[in-house]
Amino acid sequence: MIIIRTAAELEAYTGRELQNGHSIGFVPTMGALHAGHLSLVEKAVQGNDVTVVSVFVNPTQFNNPTDLATYPRDEEADIRLLAQAGVDVIFMPTVEEIYPGGLEGRERHEYALGTAAEVMEGKFRPGHFQGVAEVVARLFALVRPTRAYFGEKDFQQIAVIRNMVESEGIKVDIIACPIKRADDGLALSSRNALLSPEQRAVAPEIRKALVDSLEYARNHSVQATHDTVVERIDAVPGLETEYFEIVDARTLLPITEWDEAPEVVGCITVYCGKVRLIDNILYKTINK
């Protein structure tokens, strides 16, 4: 395994691999790695000749400076985990390597991300998905991956990236991977490290409310299901729902009736203290 810190070195490396006819699997991360990340890495290692993992906390996708400043970082632990996972390359760039002109002087590009970027996270975090698209496009240009792996915990992000790839004409297969959870159901996230023991104890109530709503939804309306989930979570001391949207899984636009879309997903963001946790659940899927 090698650690690369410059864009030029990474481009040279991946260029050689592609010339040799090798497939490249890519897992972009912001570090503070956990078993969820490693499940993506495992799939990349199994499905490709070469696996590249980036570790970069991207400032352009944070609209809250405090959130950026407090985002967990542990470079030594990340390197150790990725070495054990069989990764070929870890790309650990500085901000200047990703944005050569600097954050203020960089050349900006407005990505066509569709309505998927305007709802939920897009509504509550203005500019977030343009920042995500910007860094992912830059990383794709450097890595030139055959396949890129993303976790379904970030359900909306996957939809946005797929729109970006299509609109920019980037040739890469986007592989969505199942959510990795703790034994008590909490979706694994780097932000979980910021939870106090008391907060960590109540955080699984988010998942419990979503799972229990599956049965409730069989005999109740979309609105009633929405309200039940929000009321249950907000009744837990220390938890506060920012949003819960029940949407068409393809467009991510809200629905009012269960039969409006062939696939329906519920996406939620909850504050546990000051820590922002996201999750989702599939209410309805296409019978295949």
Alpha helices for 144-204 (secondary structure H):
155-168, 197-202
Pairing of strands 264-272, 275-284: antiparallel
> Under 8 Å CB-to-CB from 175, ≥6 apart: which residues?
43, 47, 147, 148, 149, 150
- Which three-class secondary structure state does DSSP give residue 243? strand
Alpha-carbon span 105 to 88, nearest angstrom: 33
H-helix or E-strand spanning residue 247 = strand 239-248
Phi/psi for 151 (5° steps) reads -85, 145
Catalytic residue among 37, 109, 220, 226: 37
- The neighbour count for residue 39, using CB atoms within 10 Å, is 18
**Distance of alpha carbon 284 from alpha carbon 264, whole angstroms:** 5
For the record, the structure tokens of 5 come out as 């810190």
| Closest to 189 measured CA to CA, from 270, 278, 102 | 278
User: CA Rg, the chain, in Å?
Assistant: 19
Three-state secondary structure along 94-132? Answer: CHHHHCCCHHHHCCCCCCCCCHHHCCCHHHHCCCHHHHH
109 annotated active-site: no
Residues annotated as catalytic (active site), given as ranges: 37
